A and B are shown apart, each in its own frame.
Chain A
Amino acid sequence: MELTYEPRIVGFLCNWCSYAGADLAGTSRTNYPANIRIIRVPCSGRVDPLFIVKAFQLGADGVLVAGCHPGDCHYSDGNYHTRRRVGLLRPFLDYLGLDKARLRLEWVSASEGKRFSEVVLSFTDTLIKMGPRSS
């Protein structure tokens, strides 16, 4: 039985924490599935909710938005706003028929290389179990 479905994940990672954490995952030679495509942004607060909607419309199976832990944002407040924007978008998309588990908001610090790996692994696993999107 071979796996035919490879979920496509778009990740928006903030330069100062989560992108650095993803780099550390590489420096520490951890391993995670190759389904994620990372787009670097200066702050998770730069992520326009329309980017997320667009990614899903194009066909993304999952979207990961990653930023610094609340309180640690390099720009002091960015992630608080991201939290609110994604907080409203996620249940709304779910209501419209896009499973909320497909949009993930994670806080990853620059020192959490292993955690980043685990996040990608768990997200990819979840998406594989969920199967392709219904539409």
Chain B
Amino acid sequence: MIEIIRNKAKEWLEKNEDGCVIGYERASDGMTARPVFIYEPHMMGKLIFDETCVHNLSKYLLNRRGTRTAVVVKPCDSRGINLLINEHQLDRDSIYIIGVVCPGMKESHFGRIEDHPLSKCRRCLHHTPAVYDVLVGEPQPETASHDYSDVARIEGMSLQERNAFWKEQFGRCIRCYGCRQICIGCYCQECFVDELDPLWVGIRSCPEDNWIWNIGRAFHLSARCISCGECERVCPVGIPLMLANRKLEKESADLFDFEPGMDAATAPPFATFIKEETLEKVE
């Protein structure tokens, strides 16, 4: 599989001399992967692809607008590209997407690769990228349906239990904004949390402001989050951010029959409306 990736990337770079190939290389620990930017075709041997390639590389595309770029993407990452095209941030024609049929990624901690897949990969629905120029690997059938048992577990708690649960989770937030920095849907020049006038949310790390920060970010990603799980991976204090995002994902699917990132053309729920719809939970 890696040979195909390297060859396709090399072919493309030879035809697009000013371009860049964004992929994965072996990190300095000799075990895990890290992003790499390759500008010379003869360096293509650096590219790797294995179960430590957890990063969503499509975010780097935002820095290379106006230039030609090839990128190696997993199915979740590819949905991010569709999202960005839909929101007029990327030009499809200037990107060469090397889509990889993903075997699932594994956690790595303290110099060891775990033998179980990431939780997001365990419940992954789409094993084939949603958009690609070349597909590496045999297309896999989709998993039958969404597994929202993690969300259902929280929904099953009482109101007080939920309140206490999230108070504890968001209470740990140190406002490092790692989640925002890594998220492909977070690309605003100035985030609402950075605005001082009006001050939407205070800058300090304190329970009240952390609550607004996390809810605000999640809500700004409602019907946009493509479930790549990067936010949760990078959170230094282990907040289960996906547990919040996936609730909004479930509601978007229920209320608006919308799954973000599956294509670049469909108008997202907040850009449109249906006159006759009654959202029973509201009315």
Contact = CB atoms under 8 A, between A and B. Distances in A.
Contact of B163 (A54, A77, A135): A135
A80 interface: yes
A90 to B, nearest CB: 6
A84 B265 CA distance: 20
B107 to A, nearest CB: 26
Nearest to B207: A135
A48 to B, nearest CB: 9
Interface in B151-181: 151, 154-155, 159-160, 162-167
A87 B159 contact: no
A96 B244 contact: yes
A95 B216 contact: no
Interface in A75-128: 77, 80-81, 83-100, 105
Given A57-B211, A84-B269, A134-B159, A97 B216 contact: no
Contacts of A92: 215, 218-219, 222, 244, 247-248, 251
The CB with the most chain B CB atoms within 10 A, among A92, A94, A99, is that of A92
B163 A97 contact: yes
Interface in B227-283: 244, 247-248, 251-252, 255-256, 269-270, 273-275, 277, 279, 281-283
Nearest to B280: A87
A5 B149 CA distance: 38
Contact of A77 (B155, B219, B273): B273
Contact of B216 (A50, A93, A98, A105): A50
Contacts of B167: 97, 135
Main secondary structure of the interface of B (DSSP, over half): helix
Main secondary structure of the interface of A (DSSP, over half): helix
B162 A87 contact: no
A81 B251 contact: no
Nearest to B216: A50
Given A84-B270, A87-B282, A95 B200 contact: no
Nearest to A133: B163
Given A87-B281, A105-B282, A53 B273 contact: no
Contacts of A57: 208-209, 211-212
Contacts of A83: 273, 277, 279, 282-283
Contacts of B247: 91-92, 95
Contacts of A132: none
A71 B275 CA distance: 7
A15 to B, nearest CB: 21
Contacts of A70: 275
A69 B111 CA distance: 60
A85 B211 contact: no
Contact of B159 (A54, A80, A85, A99): A99
Contacts of B218: 92
Contact of B270 (A81, A90, A105): A81
Nearest to B245: A92
Contacts of B192: 50
Contacts of B283: 83, 105
A88 B270 CA distance: 10
Given A96-B166, A135-B167, A88 B222 contact: yes
For the complex of A and B, the 9 pairs showing the least CB-CB separation, nearest first, are A97-B163, A80-B273, A87-B279, A97-B162, A87-B282, A95-B247, A96-B166, A105-B282, A57-B212
5 contacts: A50-B192, A80-B273, A95-B154, A95-B155, A96-B166
